[in-house]
Chains A and B, each alone.
Chain A
Amino acid sequence: MKPDELRGHLDALILAVLEKEALHGYAIMEELGKLSSGAIDLPTGTLYPGLRRLERIGYLRSSWSTVGGRQRRTYELTSAGRRALADERSAWQRFTSVIGAVLDPSATHT
Chain B
Amino acid sequence: MRLWFRRLRDGEARGRRLPVDHYVSELERVLRGPSRMRADLVREVRDGLTDMADALEDDGLVRPEAERAAVLEFGTVAEVAPGLQRELSFAQGRRTGWLLFVVVALQMAAAEIAWRNDPLAVGPSVRLSEGYLCLADLMDKSQYVILALGLAAVAAFGPAGRWLPAGTGMVRAGGLFAIVAVVFKSIIAIHLVALVPGMMAQPLTLGGAAYQAAVFFLPVCFVMASGWRCLRVGGARLRTA
- A contact set with B: CB distance below 8 Å: 24-27, 29, 43-50, 52-53, 56-59, 70-73, 80, 84
The reply to whether B161 and A25 form a contact with Cβ atoms under 8 Å apart is no
The reply to whether B158 and A46 form a contact with Cβ atoms under 8 Å apart is no
Q: Would you list the 3 A-B pairs with minimal beta carbon distance, nearest first?
A: A49-B83, A43-B75, A45-B80
Residues on the B chain within 8 Å of A24, using CB: 47-48, 51
Other A-B contacts than A45-B79, A49-B80, A53-B161, 19 sampled, CB-CB below 8 A, are: A24-B51, A26-B51, A43-B73, A45-B45, A45-B48, A46-B80, A46-B83, A48-B80, A48-B83, A48-B84, A56-B158, A56-B161, A57-B160, A57-B161, A57-B162, A59-B162, A72-B51, A73-B40, A80-B162
Q: Report the minimal beta-carbon distance from B33 to chain A, rounded to whole angstroms.
A: 11
A19 to B82, CA, bound (A): 27
Residues on the A chain within 8 Å of B87, using CB: 49, 52-53, 56
Residues on the B chain within 8 Å of A45, using CB: 45, 48, 74-75, 79-80
User: Can you give 17 A-B contacts (C-beta < 8 A)?
Assistant: A24-B48, A25-B44, A43-B80, A46-B79, A48-B83, A49-B83, A49-B87, A52-B41, A52-B84, A53-B86, A53-B161, A56-B159, A57-B158, A57-B162, A58-B158, A58-B159, A70-B47
The reply to whether A48 and B48 form a contact with Cβ atoms under 8 Å apart is yes
Partner of A44, one of B41, B52, B82, B161: B52
Interface assignment of B216: CB less than 8 Å from any CB of chain A = no
Assuming the A-B contacts A49-B83, A52-B84, A53-B161, are A44 and B47 also in contact, with contact meaning beta carbons closer than 8 angstroms in the complex? no
Chain B 43-83, CB within 8 Å of chain A: the 1/0 string?
11101100110010000000000000000011100011011
Assuming the A-B contacts A43-B73, A45-B74, A57-B159, are A50 and B83 also in contact, with contact meaning beta carbons closer than 8 angstroms in the complex? yes
Interface assignment of B90: CB less than 8 Å from any CB of chain A = yes
Residues on the A chain within 8 Å of B40, using CB: 73
Q: Report the minimal beta-carbon distance from B85 to chain A, rounded to whole angstroms.
A: 9
Residues on the A chain within 8 Å of B159, using CB: 56-58
Residues on the A chain within 8 Å of B158, using CB: 56-58
Give the contact-size bracket for chain B.
20 to 34
Identify the closest chain A residue to B51 (Cβ). Answer: A26
A59 to B158, CA, bound (A): 11
A29 to B55, CA, bound (A): 13
Residues on the A chain within 8 Å of B44, using CB: 25, 48, 73
Residues on the A chain within 8 Å of B52, using CB: 26, 44
Residues on the B chain within 8 Å of A53, using CB: 83, 86-87, 161
Residues on the B chain within 8 Å of A25, using CB: 44, 47-48, 51
Residues on the A chain within 8 Å of B75, using CB: 43-46
A71 to B40, CA, bound (A): 12
The reply to whether A49 and B84 form a contact with Cβ atoms under 8 Å apart is yes
A55 to B40, CA, bound (A): 14
Q: Report the minimal beta-carbon distance from B52 to chain A, rounded to whole angstroms.
A: 6
Residues on the B chain within 8 Å of A26, using CB: 47-48, 51-52, 55
Q: Report the minimal beta-carbon distance from A1 to chain B, rounded to whole angstroms.
A: 16
Residues on the A chain within 8 Å of B160, using CB: 57
Residues on the A chain within 8 Å of B162, using CB: 57-59, 80, 84
A84 to B161, CA, bound (A): 13
